[in-house]
Amino acid sequence: MSDVLLEVKNLKKYYNVSSGVLHAVDDVSFNLNRGETLGIVGESGCGKSTLGKTILRLVNPTSGEVNFEGQNIASMDLKEFNKMRPQIQMIFQDPMSALNPRMSIKQQIEEPLLIYNLIPDKTERANRVLELMDTVGLARRYAEMYPHELDGGRRQRIGIARGLALNPKLIVCDEPVSALDVLIQAQILNLLQDLQKEKGLTYMFITHDLSVVKHISNNICVMYLGQIVEMCPTKELFEKTLHPYTKALLSAIPVPSLKNRRERILLKGELTSPINPEDKCRFAPRCLYATEQCFKTCPSLQDMGGGHVVACHRVKELNNL
């Protein structure tokens, strides 16, 4: 069995809009190994959530491949893909809007089991719901309650229980902790890590906040306006940051000690339009180091060794490599 669970190759998702073609995801490629976590990081509008939805076929890709266990699910007939869907699940950002306010906690967790008729026997199914509540640390006394009666952390635990109900191999976590306060964030991240160890789960973790994925990702992929600009093992990204955009994102993370405080890099300049983008570095209008070449050609990803790839014309010069 190959170590690679998910292989994304030249994936594109374009939308026709009144003023042209919006390049939401533009030629994205990466591999994700079994039992590992890939953090997908970028500002709002960088295409990270569309990437997750395209992989899950919640939106259909424009072109490219999404190979899950060696099968290209991007080109699969939807009927055929639906048979595989239990293996790929999603945890959403806002548990309140992802849950049905008129269904009890027990019914919400039971729903995916009913849809896929995974456990036809009613008693066995009820036991599985309670087991899932135990797994995600939700006390059984909440089973008959409704989402509005619980706090944000507990509601997200329901989302995780629903995600786990069908025994998936891959879970796409779309900003699962961004609506929660810091203490609850840590509890949910710890829970996701424990579940990964216990069940060998593979995560694609989408977030705007680099500090959230620092401790849980094996690799991080930084996206800017639909494209990957830097991707490497997590430790390397924090210790040997190469792309000017990633450096700006890192500088925004608060550091508790005065000694290690970095200077905040403020990004100025206009955002490039993702509609009919020109052949140039999309970060150029906001980049402190942009030259004429940056406005003339789009940099492709360069292999810097050790699994580190960067899309910047000046990467060697700027980092003394």
In the complex with ligand SF4, the residue whose CB is nearer, 177 or 294, is 294
Stretch that binds ligand SF4, among 42-50, 97-105, 121-129, 307-315 (CB under 6 A): 307-315
Is 299 one of the binding residues for ligand SF4 (CB under 6 A)? yes
Closest separation between CB of residue 242 and ligand SF4, Å? 10
Say how far apart CA 206 and CA 210 lie, in whole Å: 10
Closest separation between CB of residue 270 and ligand SF4, Å? 13
Dig out the tokens for 253 from the structure. 């993370």
Is 297 one of the binding residues for ligand SF4 (CB under 6 A)? no
| 181 CB neighbour count, 10 Å cutoff | 11
Q: Which residues in the 86-115 window bind ligand SF4 by CB under 6 A?
A: none
Q: Which residues in the 68-87 window bind ligand SF4 by CB under 6 A?
A: none
Sort 49 into a burial class: Cβ within 10 Å, 0-12 / 13-18 / 19+: buried
Q: Which residues in the 260-289 window bind ligand SF4 by CB under 6 A?
A: 281, 283-284, 287, 289
Is 313 one of the binding residues for ligand SF4 (CB under 6 A)? yes
Is 228 one of the binding residues for ligand SF4 (CB under 6 A)? no
Sort 271 into a burial class: Cβ within 10 Å, 0-12 / 13-18 / 19+: middle
Is 294 one of the binding residues for ligand SF4 (CB under 6 A)? yes
133-161 b/e with 16+ CB inside 10 Å = b? bebbbbeeebbeebbeebebbbbbbbbbb
Q: What does residue 259 show for φ and ψ, rounded to 5 degrees?
A: -60, -40
Q: Specify the amino acid at residue 91.
A: I
Closest separation between CB of residue 271 and ligand SF4, Å? 13
Task: Give the angle subtended at the CA of 158 by the CAs of 156 and 160, to the nearest 5°.
Answer: 70
Sign of CA dihedral 230, 206, 170, 35: positive
Is 224 one of the binding residues for ligand SF4 (CB under 6 A)? no
Say how far apart CA 255 and CA 250 lie, in whole Å: 10
Say how far apart CA 177 and CA 197 lie, in whole Å: 19
Closest separation between CB of residue 287 and ligand SF4, Å? 3
In this structure, are residues 286 and 267 in contact, taking their beta carbons and an 8 Å threshold?
yes
In the complex with ligand SF4, the residue whose CB is nearer, 125 or 314, is 314
Dig out the tokens for 200 from the structure. 């060998």
In the complex with ligand SF4, the residue whose CB is nearer, 6 or 311, is 311
Closest separation between CB of residue 212 and ligand SF4, Å? 24
Question: Which DSSP category does 282 fall into?
Answer: T
Closest separation between CB of residue 230 and ligand SF4, Å? 10
- Contacts with ligand SF4 by CB under 6 A: the residue count is 12
| Options 8, 133, 179, 312; binder of ligand SF4; rule CB under 6 A | 312
- Which residues of this chain interact with ligand SF4, rule CB under 6 A? 244, 281, 283-284, 287, 289-290, 294, 299, 312-314
